[in-house]
Amino acid sequence: MQVNQLIDHTYLKAFGTTKELDQLIIEAKEYQFKSVCVNPYWVAYAHEKLQKSGVLVCTVIGFPLGQNTTETKVFETLNAVSNGADEIDMVINVAALKMGRYDYIKNEIDQVVKAANNKTVKCIIETCYLSKEEIAKVSEIVSTTQAHFIKTSTGFGTGGATVEDVKLMKEHGHGKEVKASGGVRNKTDFEAMVEAGATRIGTSNGVQIMNDSTGSGY
C-alpha cells in the first residue's frame, strides 16, 4: 500500500496566505501525496506550482454548507476545471436530503459530474448531520451516479469521519470509493479508516501521518 498516494494534503482555512499554501505544496511534492486540496481561489496558483510534480490539484465546491444552487455549483466546477483542478469535492445539499428530495440530490451530482468533464468527483455528504439511515440512503443515491467517491465530511461540521460511517458508506455505495475526511490526525486514525474501506484520506496532518511519532512511520 502506497500510503502517500491515499492522502489529499489539505488546507482549507479562510486565512491561509501564500505562506501556508507554499508550505502545503512543498510538503506535497516532498511526500508525493495524491493531491493538495485547496479552496477555489488557490486552484490556478496550485496548478502552476505543481506542474510536472505528479501531485494533483483538488478543490471544493459548494463549500462548506452545500446550500448553493445547482447552477452555482456547476459554475464553480467549470471555473475550477478551467483553472486547472484535477479533482472536485462537492458538498451535497444536506437540507434537500433531509427533506427527501432525492431526485434533487441525484440531479445536482449529475450536473456537477458533467461540468467536471471526466475529472474525479467526490460527494461530501457531511455525516455528522445525518442519521445512519440517511447516510445509507445518500450513499445509494451516489451509487446511481457517475461520481467516483462518497466523502464523509467537510471538516467544518460538528464532527468528522468515523469508522462506523465509512463502513456504512462502503456497504451502501455499491462499488463507489470512500474518502474519509475530518479528524484523521495520526497513523492510528489513518489505518482505522483504510481498514474500514476508505481509499482516500483528506487531512491536514499528512506529514505527521507519514512521520508517525512512534517512530514507525511509513
Active site residues: 89, 151, 179
* Residue among 65, 23, 30, 57 nearest 41 (CA): 57
Residue 76 CA to residue 61 CA, distance in Å, equals 6
Alpha helices per DSSP H over 32-186: 43-49, 70-82, 94-98, 102-116, 132-143, 163-172
Distances (CA, A) of 54 to 25, 57, 86, 194: 12, 10, 11, 23
Region of residue 190 (phi > 0: left; psi between -120 and 50: alpha; otherwise: beta): alpha
Name the DSSP letter for residue 121: E
C-alpha span between 208 and 43 (Å, rounded): 24
Q: CA–CA separation, 170 vs 156, rounded Å?
A: 22
Distance, CA of 76 to CA of 72 (rounded, Å)? 6
Enter the C-alpha cell of residue 181: 475526511
